[in-house]
Amino acid sequence: MNTDSMRFSLLFLFLLPVLFLLSCAPTTTHYAKVNQGLLQQDYDYALKLIEENKENYAERNAALYYLEKGIISHYASNYQESNDSLARAESIMDELYTKSISKQVFSFLISDNTIPYRGEDFENVMVNLFMALNYIGLGLEEDALVEARKVDNKLNIINSRYEEDKKNIYKEDAFIRFLMGVLYETGGELNDSFISYRKAEEIYTNDYSQNYGVSPSSFLIENLLSAAQAMDFQEEISEFQEKYTHVTYMNPAKKKEMAEIYFIHYNGLGPVKVEKSWQVTMPDMYIAKIAYPIFKRQNYQITQSEITLQNVASDSSYQFETALMEDIGSIAMMNLENKINRIKTKAIARATTKYLATKASSKEAEKKGGAMLGFVVQVAGNIVSVATEQADIRHWRLLPAEIGVGRVIVPPGDYEGKIEFVNAGGGVVSSKRVERFTVQAGEKRFLIYLTRI
């Protein structure tokens, strides 16, 4: 082989991974239009954009395709379609936890982007949370409980994969425990309901308040005390009344004669994953790039929602507001920060391997084709190394930043009203009419609203 042919062959071999990587890099340009569709509550348009861009997700990003389809269908109240997509995403992600060693090796040599996306730990949990909410929307409380129970089991499995001193901060979910309490109460399983509410209070107090700034809501404590009263747990009633002196609660017998209305408010744009990197110049002028992902918060104006309901028959008015119960943005950021050193360590090892491989190839080329060819190979290898060192910034982009919940206990009957979405200063950013609906005695009704501004 002459020198020119050798140079071409070596350059081709070096550039091939770059061409492969670029050819299968995920495309995200359609998300701006998708978000615009969600902002305008044109869910059909948003879903159509995802489906039209299916080929851009590629096989490696199939889980993301179904996650996005699933969450849009959920926002649109198409609960069965949402569960179909989310179940498919969950199946793909579960499968990928038994991925082949060859793909892991390739990711070590080239980039984490070459691995099929299996979701962040918290995203795996959010699948079951939204499936539980879908089943609630379908009126299938038992199926909702099945999905809710999966969350605890899944978090245990996820954390069992990490070394004892490297467990994730996100190891329990307070909001799903609260939902379980509501669902158990709906089914008359008051002991299980009390246990779930108590566990939710414990997680909010000892975990969420410290890590995410989210404290237990007053209506969680009200529900907890009502359940304790129904079970005649006098010691526990005294314990929580002493702890939450400002909270009063309804007698469980009276509560059965009433209806509970829960407003779930999905608010804000979830954080976006971006690349951060630094470069190290070696003594031979080789530039080593180390890249890693971080979550960056996105701005949104609305912080809370205030609801006014009117009983159509009696003209009685009820006003209440939502409380933050799930800060998905903070969970996402801390979940990633919690394992960022593992990601950086892998990136450094990969950059070192690329450097050593380039040096070895350069020396071999110099032996066979002279100093100039050795230099060309080193430059080409450096270009390939930098180009392929890309942080894996794939994530479930359409999740809300947070979930707020408002709860009111009212007599059975017909209701209508309005919901106002307010900013940090209390100013009304937007409002929406609450269409007339009917609730029965003992019923627990969930109404869902989405804002992304």
**pLDDT value at residue 288:** 85
Q: How far is CA 12 from CA 105, 239, 378, in A?
A: 21, 72, 13
Residue 132 — φ and ψ, nearest 5°?
Answer: -65, -45
Name residue, tokens 């008359």. 188
CA–CA dist 363, 369 (Å, integer): 10
- Other Cβ atoms within 10 Å of 269 Cβ, number: 21
**pLDDT value at residue 13:** 47
- Please state the length of the chain: 453
Q: Chunk the chain into consecutive blocks of 10 residues (it has 453) and report each block's average pLDDT, rounded to whole numbers.
A: 48 49 64 94 96 87 96 98 98 79 50 82 94 96 94 84 75 95 94 97 97 97 97 96 95 95 97 92 86 94 97 97 97 91 84 78 80 79 77 94 98 98 96 97 96 94
- Other Cβ atoms within 10 Å of 5 Cβ, number: 10
**pLDDT value at residue 5:** 46
- Would you state the structure tokens that stand for residue 382, as one six-digit string? 């450096």
In the chain, the N- to C-terminal Cα span, in Å, equals: 63
323-326 and 413-423 strand pairing: unpaired
CA–CA dist 280, 35 (Å, integer): 38
**pLDDT value at residue 105:** 46
